[in-house]
Structure 1
Amino acid sequence: MTYTLEQLRGLVAVAEELHFGRAAARLRMTQPPLSRQIQKLEAQVGVRLLDRDNRRVALTPAGEAFLAEARRILAIAEAAPDLAQRVSSGSRGLVRLGFTAASTFGILGRLLDRLERELPEVRIELFEMVTREQIAALANEDLDLGLARPPFDPELFDSRLLHREALLLAVPSGHPLASLDRPAVPADLATEPLIFHSQQKARYFYDLVVSMVPLAQERVVHSVSQILTMLWLVAAGRGIAFVPASATLLAIPDVALIPLATPVPEPVELHLLWPRRTHNPALARVLEALRDVEY
């Protein structure tokens, strides 16, 4: 079944005016070509859409049903150029955002709020991934943007520091370390069982802690990938753990978070990460909206 937008516009005009002469004037055409358009449309649809005689014009039941579809098709057709322009400019579209679990501790929500205010027609699709998975997905164009931990290959990716925070020590409530009147130092931890970051699945935190706090690895009793899991193990009295300061937002019962002496005051970094070559025009608009954002 093939019909033209002109035929649909003709039907809508006649249905709204209920008069061929007025409908033709509205469309800036003469009545005979309009009548032929309606006849061709009815032939293509295969049913009578209008009842007409010398005195009146009325829609048939089939015409009433077809009129609703005609209006919908015309609305889509009329909106299509504007939609294409907005997608091309990046003001509308889809951005696939990868994030680490720890970035949800307050940061991700505020970032999404900013994008919703600045770019309400850009849809953000979320994917929880560790940094290693995000890098692979960005390289394969399965993601457009990441919230990830360094380091990155500068030839493949561009990045922007979004957030920096301290590294804290999580201990069970009532633990002697919780009553220190100073930041904990490595010597304070010499005999403590350690809940550590997985070297494979949480490599950034693993390398960071090893570089910042000299520790005996034989003291490690558990290796896990998620900070929330570490905190619950601490709450259960299984050991002590190293967590970013944003973990205070989780407020896990029976866990105290205490300062830790580190060579760099705020060594934990979170970056926006994106490929240097991208085919998504909405990404540039998202990056511009987040240009001056720092949490």
Structure 2
Amino acid sequence: MFEISQLRCFVAVAEELHFGRAAERLNMTQPPLSRQIQLLEHNVGVQLLDRSSRVVRLTAAGHAFLPEALRILRMVDEAGLLARRVARGEQGSLTIGFTSASGYTLLPEVVRRLRERTPELALSLKELVSTAQVEALGAGQLDLGLMRPLALHQELVSLPIATEDMLLAIPAREADSYPLAPTLACLHRRPFIMYSPHEARPFYQMLTSRFERANVAPDVVEHIGQVHTMLALVSAGIGAALVSQSCARLQFDGIVLRRMETEPVHTVCVYRRDNENPILQMFVRDILPGFDGARMVRRD
């Protein structure tokens, strides 16, 4: 099998049709150049150059071999360039999981910043609830997850990326019966649409804990996994609901949104500790610190 260096020597001689000029072009002396051509012809099994006269000529086999040699060298150069670009995080692929709420404001901004930094990036986006994202990360099906904070395995790293206020979504026909600056106390014994303990476990656990600390017991009429369904039920007058600020983008008719006097909610980005994807590493190193609510955390 011939070597790439032998192809480069052949192409130089074939284009110059002169061993001296080809050797100078390759920054080498003529004897080793001649030896490389001889080795190439031996490996190919035919004579590629006619050196029987003072003028170097391509044989018929040499004419046929030259464009293929050029194609191989071009592929080698392109492969090297691609490898360097991928290693620098300038090209590659990234698979991102996201919750429906993060898809309204956070995900578009993440994608925009990634595209600005790496225009040739191949992105794959998958809408999944937080618990499903954790499973997908563990199975290597995601590079990055945008989710609510929850307990994670040791192989996963969680970094904060955004903080949002909570909004109280009220049926418009009942807006007058709620305070303008609502607190959790105003939900006591009122019809309330709660997050599903299975599909939306982080939010369910967070709100359950907050209600218990505030000694508030809303009248839970439904458990819902997706926020757009929850807001649709609020619009229908089924009850009130608590949603993150980004959900205001949905703009359902028949709903009044009021900022809650309570703790904000957080979104984190999660990835496998052993994921060596250069795009992911570039995101964590260079893009993540620019988000509100993000801070660099020791990875060990």
- 1:9 Cα offset (Å): 0.4
* Kept after mapping to 2: 8 A contact 1:100/1:128: yes
**In structure 1, distance between residues paired with 2:186 and 2:129:** 31
Residue 269 of structure 1 is matched in structure 2 by 266
**In structure 2, distance between residues paired with 1:51 and 1:119:** 49
Residue 5 of structure 1 is matched in structure 2 by 4
Deviations 1:105-140 (A, max 9, x none): 211222233344456677655443322233334445
Deviations 1:229-252 (A, max 9, x none): 222333444443321111112223
Tell me the C-alpha RMSD between the 2 structures. Answer: 3.7
Residue 71 of structure 1 is matched in structure 2 by 73
* Kept after mapping to 2: 8 A contact 1:12/1:71: no
User: Mapping of 1:112-131 within 5 angstroms?
Assistant: 112-118=111-117, 125-131=124-130
Deviations 1:120-164 (A, max 9, x none): 677655443322233334445554433222233485554333222
Are the structure 2 counterparts of residues 42 and 189 from structure 1 closer, same or farther at C-alpha, using a change threshold of 3 Å? same
Name the TM-score, length of structure 1 as normaliser: 0.75
Percent identity over paired residues: 36
SS at match of 2:247: helix
SS at match of 1:103: coil
Amino acid at match of 1:278: D
How many residues align? The count is: 284
**In structure 1, distance between residues paired with 2:190 and 2:218:** 10
SS at match of 1:83: helix
Amino acid at match of 2:223: S
Are the structure 2 counterparts of residues 44 and 157 from structure 1 closer, same or farther at C-alpha, using a change threshold of 3 Å? closer
Are the structure 2 counterparts of residues 178 and 24 from structure 1 closer, same or farther at C-alpha, using a change threshold of 3 Å? farther
User: Mapping of 1:1-295 within 5 angstroms?
Assistant: 2-31=1-30, 33-35=32-34, 37-42=36-41, 44-45=43-44, 54=53, 55=55, 57-58=57-58, 60=60, 62-76=64-78, 79=81, 83=84, 87=87, 95-118=94-117, 125-153=124-152, 157-172=156-171, 174-177=172-175, 182-185=180-183, 189=187, 193-213=191-211, 214-217=216-219, 219-220=220-221, 222-262=222-262, 264=263, 266=264, 268-275=265-272, 277-280=273-276, 282=278, 283-289=280-286, 290-294=288-292
Deviations 1:208-264 (A, max 9, x none): 3333453444x41x33211122223334444433211111122234433233443x3
Name the TM-score, length of structure 2 as normaliser: 0.74
**In structure 2, distance between residues paired with 1:37 and 1:43:** 10
SS at match of 2:289: coil
Amino acid at match of 1:106: T
**In structure 1, distance between residues paired with 2:36 and 2:165:** 73
- 1:270 Cα offset (Å): 0.9
Are the structure 2 counterparts of residues 29 and 259 from structure 1 closer, same or farther at C-alpha, using a change threshold of 3 Å? closer
**In structure 1, distance between residues paired with 2:191 and 2:159:** 36
**In structure 1, distance between residues paired with 2:289 and 2:184:** 38
Are the structure 2 counterparts of residues 253 and 12 from structure 1 closer, same or farther at C-alpha, using a change threshold of 3 Å? farther
Name stretches of at least 5 consecutive residues in structure 1 with no aligned partner: none
Are the structure 2 counterparts of residues 31 and 229 from structure 1 closer, same or farther at C-alpha, using a change threshold of 3 Å? same
* Kept after mapping to 1: 8 A contact 2:11/2:69: yes
* Kept after mapping to 2: 8 A contact 1:168/1:257: yes
Amino acid at match of 2:18: H
Amino acid at match of 1:230: M
